[in-house]
Structure 1
Amino acid sequence: MLEEKNDNLLEADGNLENHAAESISTEADGNLEIVATEEAVTESDAPILEETTPTPELNIPDENQTILDAIAETNAEESEDETLKERHDIPMQDYETLSMEVLVEELKNLVSNEKVMSVKEHVEEIKKAFLAKYNHLIEEKKEEFNAENTDPNETFQYNSPLKTKFDQYYSLFRDNKNTHFKSLQTNLKTNLETRLAIVEELKNLIDPQANIKDTLKHFNELRERWNAAGSIPKDKYNHVWNNYHFHVENFYDYLHLDREARDIDFKHNLDQKLKIIARVEALVQESDINKAFRELQDLHRIWKEDIGPVSREHRDEIWNTFSALTKQMHDKREVLFEKLRGTELENLEKKKEIIAKIEVLATEKVTAHALWLAQIDKVEALRNAFFATGKVPSEVNEATWSSFKIAVRNFNTFKNSFYKDIKKDQNDNLSKKIALVAKAKELQESLNFAATTPIMKQIQEEWKQIGHVPRKYSDKIWKEFKEACNHYFDKLKEQKNEENSDEVLSFDNKKAYLDTLRAFELTGDHKTDLDAIKLHIETWKNFGKVPFARRHIEGKFNKILDALFEKLSLSKKDTDMMRFSNRMENLSESNDTRKLDNEKIFLMRKIEEVQNEIFQLENNIQFFTNTRNAKKENSIVLEVRKNIAIHKESLDVWKDKLKQLRNLKTE
């Protein structure tokens, strides 16, 4: 990346010219000929001068120097590990606002697709956000467990597949990082030894007795070896670079005999540094300040590592200009940070409001489970809002998080106190339901359907009336109860299906018998005809019940009977009682207890009505018999007495019907 930026500084017309070989003759020590070849002054061989650490004569304010030192320290760290230079290519998200599921997915993508040191800061932020949410979840689950569990021997356990995935991806990242660092440490130590050896060779390079051409060649070889030496530990970075540049400058001073070649090199370096200054001036106007500051760090690295020294007359001026522009960029960055801090302060106020609302909910007294569910939903919504709110100032981050946890914990404690109070009721309900399960299992094989079915229905009604049981037992006992009930009613259904086939046969028989009954003729003998009708009734009964949907055939049978009774000239009472008896027996055979009960109530009301009517008529008679003409009963009195007799006869019929119905139910 640095090489690309360095190349970009060279415009099409600003490339270094290919200097023709120059011969500089001197007569010192005889006819010594010093040749400055093309390779001595090319860009790739340009000597490097350490200027990020200013020399004593540079007058740079302390604040500016602090900024430069910070940039130098960052570059030293990134030079130690080249992968650090790429970490800014991946945008840093506000991981605190993401859910646990999304955090795990982000971690997976970073670990699987990016270089380990490029995502180090991202992974640590994801870990911090995930563990905060996970630990909060564990605290809630543990409090719920303590509230519901009454067995002191049972320990809290909670397994999260999401946490397992997170641990898997984080372990992979940690293994990759350890492997990376092991390799890096070995290389750093070797590279440091190589660079120190190069510095020692530079010290010994100045030798008046040596051939200049050979010395220049050796000097260029040392620079090539230096550029290829690789990264060194960051704590040695500035010291080693300063030593190297010091001895490079000494060698340039030693080359005073080759002043013209040196000046050409100085001019090239000056052009390069002026282009860097021009680029920084443009960066000061850049809208994306973070991106511009990162490029500024790269330009500092290029200035220091890739471009050699300039002449002393320009050295202080361009360095001070470069430093001043760096200060401007830093000031713009500080303004941005202040703006971000303002946003963080706004987030802090929002989170304080959320915490305050949770604290209020932790004091509102709620007395019903449904209401508590609504309270829990409110806290969950506030909890999600807290996590969705962005970062707060780092100095209050821990305190804010602590306040949030305390508020939620207080709410959970308050909630759990309610459920502890109803825990005893739930255990009592559990005992009741266990008893019903046992009863249902006991009856599930019963074949006495007439007696067992009402009991099973009653058991189901009792189950509905019993309240909640502890959640960990709820599904288990419901499954057992449901299986027992289903088993019994499945058998009842099978039995009814068998009975239905008998009822269909009974209907067919009765349908055929109706034709026989329609052809029946009375003989004229009262007793013989009455016995024949009773035999028909008995035969009809013996056919049994018919399907409910086909019970209309009973009405047809009753119509034929009514016609026969009319022809038989029975008394009204006898006819009425025979019809009533036949109808009641049909209801009894169909087990229609509801209609039988309704009939009983009807009869009792009719008896009461007739008795009241008789009582009123008898009172009226008393009025007329107490008059002067009591011996001579008039037509009104005779009519009243006749009505009384009719009502008494009717009362006897109603009483006989009620007696017959009671005898029928007793049987």
Structure 2
Amino acid sequence: MSENDNLQEAEGKKEVDTLETTPEKETVVEAKNEDDNTTIDANDKKENHVDEIEASNAEDAEDETNAERHEVEEKDYHAMNLDQLVTEFNRLLSHHKIQTISKYVNQIKSEFNSKFNALLEEKKEEFVNEGGNVIDFYFTNDAKKLFNQLYKEYRQGINAYYKAREHTLKENLENRLAIIEEIKGLLNVEENINTTYKHFKELQEKWRHAGPIPRDKYNNAWNSYHHHVERFYDFLHLNNDLRDMDFKHNYEQKLKIIERAEELSKDENINRAFRELQVLHKLWKEELGPVAKEHREEIWERFSNATKTIHDKRQAYYADLDKAYEKNLEKKEEIIANIVAVASEHVSSHGAWQKKIREIESLREAFFNAGKVPLKSNEATWAKFKDAVREFNRNKNLFYKDLKKEQYENLKKKKELIKIAEANKESEDFAVVTPLMKKIQSDWKKIGHVPRRDSDKIWKQFKDACNYYFDRMHDKRKAENQHLYDAFDKKVKLLDSLKSLNLAEDNKKAVATLKSKISEWKTIGHVPQNKRYIDGKFYKAIDVAFDQLKMDKAKLEMVKFESKLENLASDDSDTRLLDNEQNFIRKKIGDVQSEITQLENNLQFFTNVDETNPVVKEVLNNIDKHKKELDTWKTKLSKIKGMYS
């Protein structure tokens, strides 16, 4: 399909292109020279600018609603997507007479078919790339269904309208021809001239209201009517008063028409001025008769000049439009080049392709919003745009075809893991099956993506099977180790009571209380592996409680150490904690002894200095402090050695 946004660029533009080449010229007989009986043509000087008006009026003569057609808002259908085109189609059907919207419906239809066919080609290519048989391909959407429904409604309406109009046009033509025959007959009627003139006026009024006739009969019928009206005026020259009265009336009315035309020539709304000018020419030609011979050339020249001014401005307007269309063409060429550039970029990830897809969608929208291009470039531009987008879609589809192939392989692998999970979820052999279940969970994470439509479903299957197994395992282990959980609950309560303990002033009694808490803690026993952190919390709370006592620091340190040893010795099956603590104490003893030796060596520098010297005094204090610390560490070592006996 081809781009359609320029098929009918503007109603007036179409008229310019068509009407200026119309070979038919109407000869308006306005009077006969009484002396030589020759025909005087007042419109011999008509040029294309008049032909344009008269041809448009000939077209309008077939349909009296043509003026309403000008009131229909023409929109940029090329910038609309499928849903927007359907909405606009529905609006036209709902708010306008069926015969006034044919031009717009045809544009909408062309745009819709063009865009839908492009979408159809894309969907077909995707279908084939996924392994489908082109014979089996079928695609539609809601927009297409609604469009077909609206177009069917439009066709039924327009066919009914044209069928009824054909009968009406034929009947109106017969009536007009009958009026012409009556005017011809007036020349042979022997009656009072005033009566004949009155009858003539009645026939003119009937002609004005006789209704539309076929377009191809319009000029001949009008020429014949005008000719016989002129003959009647020739006949009427016997009564100059009546004729002069008509001439005077026609002259006054034609001057008003000229003045209005001259006003319109200054109107900046070119299309509005042209439409009203059409009406003025119709009045001039169909509603008014001739004027006196001495005024004919003059008033026609004025009317023709005003018409030409509007015509020239209109031509300039469309020339400017053509320039704008050329600029739009440049924009669209640039957009197409950008689409080609994006299509030629090689990327190998889903994320990168999604980014490119968004870029193309943005460029597509920019293309449709860029406006109309010259009609001569329309087809080629649309074809280049479609080819560029099609090339991008082809590359995209190839990537996702390979990606889907890989995803289907991943799907097979994950389904195999699901089989393993479901086959083992009822197993009681937890020692063997648990490592297997953990392994397939790890394998699942390493497998890549699967088709989106399957992703949630298979993940739920796999997760449910694994959760079922591990829930069973945990329930059984919890039942087997319920005593451990009970112990944990008791320790939580004991810890809470320790934190809220209010120690008495009697240190001895307070130490006994804390030791009883430690003993009670050990009596409770073990807790689950993942709950053993509570032991650390308890002994930290014990240390905090001891720190609150007002005791000798060394003695307090030993009480706390004894508490710590009891904690370390609570695990009878493992002496590594005691071993580590003993090694730590031995290291501290060595470090303190080294520090004392260093300080004693430093005193050798002060052999002649009195012990009351501040520096010497500080060194001696440090030595004494470290020796006390050494005694404490040695006591701790002795205590820990006793744990092994």
Q: 1:351 to 1:53 in 2, by over 3 A?
A: farther
Q: Which of 147, 150, 154 is the matching residue for 2:131?
A: 150
Q: Which of 447, 450, 454 is the matching residue for 1:476?
A: 454
Contact 1:445 1:488 in 2 (8 A): no
Q: 1:539 to 1:235 in 2, by over 3 A?
A: same
Query: For residue 270 of structure 1, what is the aligned residue in structure 2?
Result: 251
Q: Which of 243, 246, 252 is the matching residue for 2:224?
A: 243
Q: Which of 457, 463, 467 is the matching residue for 1:489?
A: 467
CA shift for structure 1 position 57: 4.5
Q: What is the distance in 2 between the residues matched to 1:493 and 1:262?
A: 114
Q: What is the distance in 2 between the residues matched to 1:80 and 1:198?
A: 18
Q: Which of 115, 131, 139 is the matching residue for 2:113?
A: 131
Match status 1:427 vs 2:408: yes
Query: For residue 228 of structure 1, what is the aligned residue in structure 2?
Result: 209
Query: For residue 68 of structure 1, what is the aligned residue in structure 2?
Result: 50
Query: For residue 285 of structure 2, what is the aligned residue in structure 1?
Result: 304
* Secondary structure of residue in 1 paired with 2:188: coil
Q: What is the distance in 1 between the residues matched to 2:92 and 2:243?
A: 49
Residues 480-527 of structure 1, C-alpha deviation per residue, up to 9 Å, x if partnerless? 33144146537856986894987654445678999xxxxxxxxxxxxx
CA shift for structure 1 position 240: 0.6
Q: 1:490 to 1:273 in 2, by over 3 A?
A: farther
Residues 216-270 of structure 1, C-alpha deviation per residue, up to 9 Å, x if partnerless? 3433332333233211111111111111121122122222233212211111111
Match status 1:194 vs 2:175: yes
Q: 1:193 to 1:497 in 2, by over 3 A?
A: farther
Residues 8-55 of structure 1, C-alpha deviation per residue, up to 9 Å, x if partnerless? xxxxxxxxxxxxxxxxxxxxxxxxxxxxxxxxxxxxxxxxxxx96445
Q: 1:105 to 1:555 in 2, by over 3 A?
A: same
Q: 1:103 to 1:110 in 2, by over 3 A?
A: same
Query: For residue 76 of structure 2, what is the aligned residue in structure 1?
Result: 94
Query: For residue 300 of structure 2, what is the aligned residue in structure 1?
Result: 319
Contact 2:328 2:373 in 1 (8 A): yes
Q: 1:324 to 1:480 in 2, by over 3 A?
A: same
CA shift for structure 1 position 133: 2.4
Q: What is the distance in 1 between the residues matched to 2:492 and 2:41?
A: 126
CA shift for structure 1 position 431: 1.6
Q: Which of 373, 380, 392 is the matching residue for 1:411?
A: 392
CA shift for structure 1 position 546: 9.1
Q: What is the distance in 2 between the residues matched to 1:431 and 1:546?
A: 39
Query: For residue 500 of structure 2, what is the aligned residue in structure 1?
Result: none
Q: What is the distance in 2 between the residues matched to 1:239 and 1:167?
A: 41
* Secondary structure of residue in 2 paired with 1:362: helix
> What pairs up with 1:60-459 in 2 under 5 angstroms?
64-147=46-129, 149-152=130-133, 155-443=136-424, 455-459=436-440
Contact 2:66 2:100 in 1 (8 A): yes
Structure 1: where are the runs of 5+ without partners?
1-50, 515-535, 560-565, 568-572, 585-598, 607-652, 654-667
Query: For residue 30 of structure 1, what is the aligned residue in structure 2?
Result: none
Match status 1:548 vs 2:531: yes
Contact 1:444 1:485 in 2 (8 A): no
CA RMSD of aligned residues (A): 4.4
Q: What is the distance in 2 between the residues matched to 1:483 and 1:349?
A: 56
Residues 566-612 of structure 1, C-alpha deviation per residue, up to 9 Å, x if partnerless? 99xxxxx9x9997444569xxxxxxxxxxxxxx99x99xx9xxxxxx
CA shift for structure 1 position 323: 2.0
Residues 49-81 of structure 1, C-alpha deviation per residue, up to 9 Å, x if partnerless? xx964457548688x533322222211221211
Identity, in percent, stands at 42
Letter in 1 for 2:331: K
Q: What is the distance in 2 between the residues matched to 1:360 and 1:313?
A: 72
Query: For residue 462 of structure 1, what is the aligned residue in structure 2?
Result: 443
Contact 1:67 1:330 in 2 (8 A): yes
Contact 2:490 2:524 in 1 (8 A): no
Q: Normalising by the residue count of structure 2, what TM-score does the alignment of the two structures yield? A: 0.69
Q: 1:458 to 1:317 in 2, by over 3 A?
A: farther
Contact 1:437 1:477 in 2 (8 A): no
Contact 2:340 2:392 in 1 (8 A): yes
Residues 602-640 of structure 1, C-alpha deviation per residue, up to 9 Å, x if partnerless? 99xx9xxxxxxxxxxxxxxxxxxxxxxxxxxxxxxxxxx
Q: What is the distance in 1 between the residues matched to 2:408 and 2:327?
A: 48
Contact 1:252 1:262 in 2 (8 A): yes
Query: For residue 529 of structure 1, what is the aligned residue in structure 2?
Result: none
Aligned residues: 513
Q: 1:168 to 1:446 in 2, by over 3 A?
A: farther
Contact 2:61 2:212 in 1 (8 A): yes
Q: What is the distance in 1 between the residues matched to 2:84 and 2:182?
A: 56
Q: What is the distance in 2 between the residues matched to 1:347 and 1:488?
A: 62
Q: 1:61 to 1:379 in 2, by over 3 A?
A: farther
CA shift for structure 1 position 199: 1.4
* Secondary structure of residue in 2 paired with 1:373: helix
Letter in 2 for 1:312: K
Residues 531-578 of structure 1, C-alpha deviation per residue, up to 9 Å, x if partnerless? xxxxx999966x87498398449967xx9xxxxxx99xxxxx9x9997
